[in-house]
Amino acid sequence: MSAPLTYLHRCCQRSVLLVVARRQWSTNSASPPPLHRRLLLFLTQRFYDVEMLLRWRYQAQRSQLQKKNVYYSYTQRFYGPDIASAYYILSLKGGFRYVGQSEWFRTNQRGKFSWDFLNHKNTPIEEADMSYTIINYTGLENLERQRSLRTLKLKGCPEVDDWFLARLHLFQDSLEELDISHCPRITTGGLAALRNLKGLKHLNVSSLPGISNPGLVIILLEEMLPQCQITANGYDHNLRKVEEEEEEQMQRQRSLCEETKAHNPV
Amino acid sequence: MSAMWRRLQVKVGPARGLLTSTQVTRRSTWLNGHLSLCQSFSTGTSLRNDFFKDLETHMEAMRKKAMDALPGSSWTPLEINPNLPPERADIVIVGGGVVGWSIAYWLKQKEMVRGGVRVLVVEKDPTYSQASTVLSAGGIRQQFSLPENIHLSLASADFIRNINEHLGVLNEDPIDLQFNHLGYLFLASEAVAHIMEENYSTQRYAGAKVSLLSPTQLKEKFPWVNTEGVVLASYGLENEGWFDPWTLLNAFKRKAISMGAIQCCGEVTEFKYTTSVITTTDGEKLDLRRIKSVKVQMPHSLEYQPVECAIVVNAAGAFSGKLTEMLGIGFGPKQSIAGIPLPVEPRKRYVYVVRCPDGPGLDTPFLIDYSGVYVRREGLAVSPKPDASNLEVDHSFFEENVWPHLAFRVPAFEKLKVTSAWAGFYDYNTFDQNAIIGTHPLINNMYFATGFSGHGLQHSPAVGRAVAELILDGNYKTLDLSGFSFNRILTQEPKLERNIV
Residue type at position B140: I
Q: Does the structure show a pLDDT above 70 at A265?
A: no
In a domain, A143, yes or no: no
As a whole number of angstroms, the distance between CA B211 and CA B200 comes to 8
For the entire predicted model, the pTM comes to 0.81
Smallest Cβ distance to A4: which of B64, B165, B241?
B64
Q: Is A216 on the interface with B (CB under 8 A)?
A: yes
Distance from CA of A14 to the nearest CA of B (A): 15
Q: Is the Cβ–Cβ distance between B467 and B436 less than 8 Å?
A: no
Residue A18 lies in a domain: yes
Residues of A in contact with B380 (CB under 8 A): 188, 213, 216-217, 220
Strands B119-123 and B262-265, bridge-based pairing:
parallel
Confidence (pLDDT) at A23: 36
Check CB contact of A152 with chain B, cutoff 8 Å. Answer: no
- Locate all alpha helices (DSSP H) within B366-482, ordered by sequence: 395-397, 403-409, 456-473
A39 touches chain B (CB under 8 A): no
- A16 located within any domain: yes
Cβ proximity of B94 and B316 under 8 Å: yes
Predicted confidence (pLDDT) per residue in B395-407, tens digit: 776 777 777 777 8
Higher pLDDT, A87 or A261: A87
A216 CB neighbours in chain B (<8 A) are 380
pLDDT at A250 over 80: no
The answer to the question of residue A17 being in a domain is: yes
Q: Tell whether the model's pLDDT for residue A153 goes beyond 70.
A: yes
Give the residue on A whose Cα is nearest the Cα of B242: A189
Nearest residue in chain B measured CA to CA from A26: B173
Query: Mind listing the pLDDT tens digit for each residue in B136-152?
Result: 888 899 999 999 999 99
In a domain, A253, yes or no: no
* Residue of chain A with shortest Cα separation from B65: A1
pLDDT of the residue at B41: 67
Q: Which pLDDT belongs to residue B39?
A: 62
CA–CA min distance B258, chain A (Å): 12
Q: How many domains does chain A have?
A: 1
Residues B49/B50/B53/B58 CA torsion (nearest 10 deg): -130
> How many CB pairs (< 8 A) connect A and B?
83
- Does A258 reside within a domain? no
A111, A64 contact by CB (below 8 A): no
Give A223 to chain B, closest Cα distance, Å: 7
Under the banding of pLDDT at 50, 70 and 90, the label for residue A10 is low
Chain B residues touching residue A57 (CB < 8 angstroms): none
Contact B178 A189 (CB under 8 A): yes
A188 close to B (CB below 8 A): yes
Is A163 contained in some domain?
Answer: no
pLDDT higher than 80, residue A249: no
Asked if residue A11 is part of any domain, the answer here is yes
> Would residue A114 be called left, alpha or beta, if left means φ above 0 and alpha means ψ between -120 and 50 degrees?
beta
Which residue range forms the structural domain that includes residue A15? 3-67
Ranges of chain B whose pLDDT falls below 50:
2, 8-33, 35, 380-392
Please tell me the distance in Å from B69's CA to the nearest CA on chain A: 10
C-alpha–C-alpha distance, residues B295 and B326, integer Å = 11
A202-204/A151-153 β-pairing: unpaired
Which value does ipTM take for this structure?
0.77
Write the single-letter amino acid at B82.
P
Higher pLDDT residue, A250 or B140? Answer: B140
- By CB atoms closer than 10 A (0-12, 13-18, 19+), residue B408 is middle
